[in-house]
Amino acid sequence: MTLTSGFCPKCGVFSKNGELCGNCRVKDIVCVTILPRVECICCPNCGSIKTAGIWSDCLVKRDELAYNLINSAMSIHNDVKNIQKNIHIVDISANRSIATVFVSGTLYDVPFDISQKVKIVWVREQCNRCCRISGGYYEGVIQVRATGRKPTSFELNRAAEIAYQVENRLQTAGDRLSFVSDIDEQKDGIDIIFSSHTIGSVISHDICGALGGSFTTHPKLVGEKAGIKLYRVTYSIRLPRFSCGDIIKHGHGYFHIFRQIKDMLFVHDLATDQSHNFREKDSDVFIANIHSAEPIPVVYRDAGVLGILDPVTQEISEIPDYAWIKADAGDTILVVRDHDTIIITGKIDENTQNIDESATETRV
Ligand SMILES: [Zn+2]
Ligand SMILES: [Zn+2]
């Protein structure tokens, strides 16, 4: 045992094994450092923040963001125990806040507390996404058209809806620069203008998946940036000749299309109500969309025929009484016309008659 054992070699107070005492160790150590000023670059339009040169969506409110900033401006020595923190923030202007930070704890059994003010500077800068949006930036366009017809309003609304759903999906996944720049109505369809090749491709695939049809791509070189060639791509979508809900003449029969995949049509036979599928033929003829079917009263039912009062000619016509219709005198049926041929597409249910009729009117 030497003379110094049991005493701090620096100040001489008792220490268990003759090591430096807590007070002497603490003297040379900084327990807590807090930067006096922190800066946060945020977009005034969308609230995104820029960290280390990279923009990202900010998922927390400004208060929480300020607490996070103060916490990241603070570093506490690893050996500190019993840490207590208190942060009080006051906004003094739109771009300045003052935080009063109080930290207490113990280091080598020596208690300490410090208090410091931190200035938070909020720097406003338009983010990369808002910059592109306000500048009308785009990398391509999707032209939604149909083969040999105009797309229906259902198809156009659905295409636009899909475009915004894809935008939501990609933004949520963190793809900030993928958005729909604009949707323009054209006389034969709509143009969806998009900001990134990713979103253009996803929207085109999703529209064809939902509405049938296919697309071709046409890239066009528009310039070069830092040695990288820049292209704008036109996606030319062709929706199929027929759409869901169309009634067509195929061979000698009339069919109601309820689904289609490429040129394969899934249909109900309007004579039997049986489901079939077949490939579309050039000889198939569009008759009408089921939404434009007109109501006609049934006057009588006789061996295999229904007598109906045609409002156009004001005469009684006879049409085949198909079993699946289950119509009788006094019922109202729905029909479409192929020149002089009247094709039955369904029956108005007595209980929902008003709903059906009004629905038909608004669609026409
Ligand atoms: Zn000492
Ligand atoms: Zn922004």
- Model confidence over 18-71: pLDDT tens digits? 888 888 888 888 889 999 999 999 999 999 999 889 999 988 888 899 999 999
Whether the Cβ atoms of residue 266 and residue 275 lie closer than 8 Å to each other? yes
Instruction: Give 1 Cα–ligand 1 centroid separation in angstroms.
Output: 19
3-state secondary structure 200-236: HHHHHHHHHHHHCCEEEEEEEEEEEECCEEEEEEEEE
- Residue 84 exposure: Cα atoms within 13 Å on the Cβ side: 9
Q: How far apart are CA 35 and CA 101, in angstroms?
A: 11
Task: Using alpha carbons, list the distances in angstroms from residue 136 to 139, 180, 184, 235.
Answer: 10, 10, 13, 19
- Fold of the domain built from segment(s) 241-289: SH3 type barrels. (2.30.30)
Whether the Cβ atoms of residue 261 and residue 287 lie closer than 8 Å to each other? no
pLDDT value at position 3? 53
Residue with tokens 């064809």: 208
Whether the Cβ atoms of residue 98 and residue 92 lie closer than 8 Å to each other? yes
Q: How far apart are CA 51 and CA 144, in angstroms?
A: 39
DSSP 7: B
> How big is the chain, counted in residues?
364
Q: Which ligand is nearest to the CA of 55?
A: 2
Q: How far apart are CA 206 and CA 203, in angstroms?
A: 5
How many CB atoms sit inside 10 A of residue 352's CB? 10
List the structure tokens of 118: 């931190």
Instruction: Give 26 Cα–ligand 1 centroid separation in angstroms.
Output: 9
Q: Which ligand is nearest to the CA of 125?
A: 2
DSSP 354: H
Q: Per residue of the chain (364 residues), what is the pLDDT tens digit? A: 455 568 888 898 888 888 888 888 888 888 899 999 999 999 999 999 998 899 999 888 888 999 999 999 999 999 999 999 999 999 999 899 999 999 999 998 889 999 999 999 999 999 999 999 999 899 999 999 998 889 988 899 999 999 999 999 999 999 999 999 999 999 999 999 999 999 999 999 999 988 888 999 999 999 998 899 989 999 999 998 888 889 999 999 999 998 887 778 999 999 999 999 999 898 999 999 888 899 999 999 998 899 999 988 899 999 999 999 998 999 999 999 999 899 999 998 766 544 343 333 333 2
- Domain 293-364, CATH class in plain words: mainly beta
The letter for the amino acid at 76 is I
Instruction: Give 130 Cα–ligand 2 centroid separation in angstroms.
Output: 4
Rg (CA), the chain: 37
Instruction: Give 29 Cα–ligand 1 centroid separation in angstroms.
Output: 14
Q: How far apart are CA 333 and CA 300, in angstroms?
A: 12
Torsion angle in degrees (nearest 10) through CA of 185, 190, 196, 197: -160
- Give the closest residue to 55 by CA, choosing from 173, 195, 175: 175
pLDDT value at position 361? 33
Q: How far apart are CA 177 and CA 135, in angstroms?
A: 13
Q: How far apart are CA 163 and CA 199, in angstroms?
A: 8
Instruction: Give 171 Cα–ligand 2 centroid separation in angstroms.
Output: 12
Which residues make Cβ contacts (< 8 Å) with residue 133, sequence separation at least 6? 179, 181, 195
Q: Which ligand is nearest to the CA of 13?
A: 1
pLDDT value at position 264? 87
List the structure tokens of 266: 């899934």
Q: How far apart are CA 245 and CA 334, in angstroms?
A: 14
By the 10 Å C-beta count (0-12 exposed, 13-18 middle, 19+ buried), 309 is classed as middle
What's the pTM value of the predicted model, to 2 decimals? 0.68
Instruction: Give 248 Cα–ligand 2 centroid separation in angstroms.
Output: 50
- Give the closest residue to 260 by CA, choosing from 276, 274, 244: 244
Whether the Cβ atoms of residue 234 and residue 221 lie closer than 8 Å to each other? no
